[in-house]
């Protein structure tokens, strides 16, 4: 007779950074510095996107820029413990980091969200997927740059398709795509989990 027990413990950190262009840089930049370069890389890349990200569509003179950009990053640390009759058999650990980038084109009234076209799935490297777990500043900024570029171009295409579709409707919705509200800012200190064997 065997009696085995498996326990999975999850430790995760989630970072959400969003801003509406061309407003000032998100106030998360005022937070006290720490040794983790993740938030600094996200702030710096968002500032670059706000200042330089634009696309000129052929046949028009007006450059298109995103009015909203959002970065979301989930840092997941998983430890799996298997024990039998009170004795520890195996322990495994897995680290993953997942990133999602959203860019909106248009205005609060009508933007590129809430519309799925024929090519809704783009894959990664794109606006979402896994990134490196080493918290390297330059590597994360490069991943954010590539993801932001694709998210923005996809938003421009989606916005064009959405406008064409809505123009064919006899009656259009009068509900805004995005609501204006005061931002909520909350930054908590980075906590490193203790995976010492004495805890098991």
Q: Are 24 and 75 in contact (CB under 8 A)?
A: no
pTM of the complete model? 0.76
Mean pLDDT per 10-residue segment, the chain (200 residues): 56 68 42 67 92 83 89 87 82 87 93 74 57 86 92 91 88 87 83 67
pLDDT of residue 145: 92
pLDDT of residue 190: 74
CA–CA dist 13, 73 (Å, integer): 8
pLDDT of residue 174: 86
Q: Name the residue with tokens 């909203």.
A: 68
pLDDT of residue 12: 58
pLDDT of residue 109: 93
Burial 117-142 (b: 16+ CB within 10 A, else e): eeeeeeeeeebbbebeeebeeeebbb
pLDDT of residue 60: 74
pLDDT of residue 57: 76
């Amino acid at each position: 007779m065997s009696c085995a027990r498996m326990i999975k413990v999850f430790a995760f950190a989630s970072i959400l950074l969003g801003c509406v262009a061309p407003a000032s840089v998100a106030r998360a930049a005022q937070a006290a510095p720490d040794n983790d370069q993740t938030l600094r890389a996200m702030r710096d890349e968002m500032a670059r996107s706000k200042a330089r990200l634009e696309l000129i569509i052929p046949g028009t003179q007006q450059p298109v820029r995103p009015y909203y950009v959002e970065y979301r990053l989930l840092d997941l640390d998983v430890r799996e413990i298997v024990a039998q009759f009170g004795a520890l058999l195996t322990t495994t650990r897995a680290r993953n980091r997942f990133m999602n980038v959203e860019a909106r084109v248009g205005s609060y009234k009508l933007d590129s969200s809430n519309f799925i076209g024929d090519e809704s799935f783009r894959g990664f490297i794109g606006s979402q997927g896994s990134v490196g777990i080493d918290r390297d500043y330059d590597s994360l900024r490069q991943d954010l740059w590539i993801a932001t570029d694709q998210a923005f171009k996809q938003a421009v295409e989606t916005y064009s398709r959405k406008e064409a579709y809505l123009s064919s409707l006899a009656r259009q919705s009068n509900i805004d795509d995005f609501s204006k509200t005061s931002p909520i800012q909350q930054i908590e200190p980075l906590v490193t989990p203790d995976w010492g064997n004495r805890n098991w």
